[in-house]
Each structure stands twice: as structure tokens, then as C-alpha cells.
Amino acid sequence: MDRLKAMQSFARVMHAGNFSIAARQLGVSRALISRRIMELERHLGFALLQRSTRNVVPTDEAGPYLEFCERILREIEREQSFVRYRDKNASTLKIVAPKSFGTLKLADALFRSGKDFEVLPLSGLTHMVPDAVVTERLWSRVVLHFRRHLGQAQ
């Protein structure tokens, strides 16, 4: 049993007032909603709903359990929103530099600047290029770009 889906189904039935509307809102079958709630009741050891052919009546335990479910579901939504926000705003600093610059200057500067940020991916340190590959012109662009990002423009 997926308890979170069962809790979500239960909360939806409580707000909708019947299984059919809840199932439609969740995009699943009425039978699946019913099965989830029966499994949840079995897990809890008490009935949440009194079912009849015409309506669904909550038991005395349903109210407090609904509050619990809604609190849990809100926390999960908040956590998912945080992860989506974090992923959307995450970025990676990529630097192409000669190995000599990387070992002599870049590594220390990156680690010092990383203290100012909560998350700073440093995967680029393993992708240094040989000194001979970087021309003088490209080298000066890399250094200038790096200084600007660290607020050390000269």
C-alpha cells in the first residue's frame, strides 16, 4: 500500500463527499479509491468512513485523521516546491583553464568563493586542459571572466 496515495485519496473523498468525484479529481478509478481507503483503514485498525449506496459518512475518527493527512500532504507539497525551486535556480560554474592555473590559482579561489554560496558545484576542476591548448588570447579572456565573477576585475 502506498500510504501517501491512500491518505491523498481519503482527504479527497472527505472534501468531495463521494468516491466518484474524488476519483475523477485524482484521475483514477472509483474502485482504486475505494481499495486505497479500505487498505488504509485496515492499516490503521479502524474505519474512517461509513459507506452506503448513496453517500459516505465520516466516522468520529475521520476528522482528526483528516487533519493529520492534510498536514502531512502540505509538508510534502512544501518540500516538493522547495526542490523544484532549488533545481530551477541551481547553476554550475564551468571554467576551462590550463592545468597550471587550475592547480596554482583556481582551486584555492574557487574554494574561498564557495564559502559565500550555499551550493557551488565544483565539477570543472577535473576537466583542466593542457597548457599548450589554451592560446594567450583565450587565456586572457578566461582570467578576465573569472575575475569579474569573483568581483576582482582589474
* Architecture per CATH, 3-88: Orthogonal Bundle (1.10)
Does the pLDDT value for residue 14 go beyond 70?
Answer: yes
pTM of the model: 0.55
Q: How far is CA 57 from CA 33, 53, 54, 128, 133, in A?
A: 15, 11, 10, 67, 75
Domain limits, the chain:
3-88, 99-149
The string of pLDDT tens digits covering residues 21-52 is 999 999 999 999 999 999 999 999 999 999 87
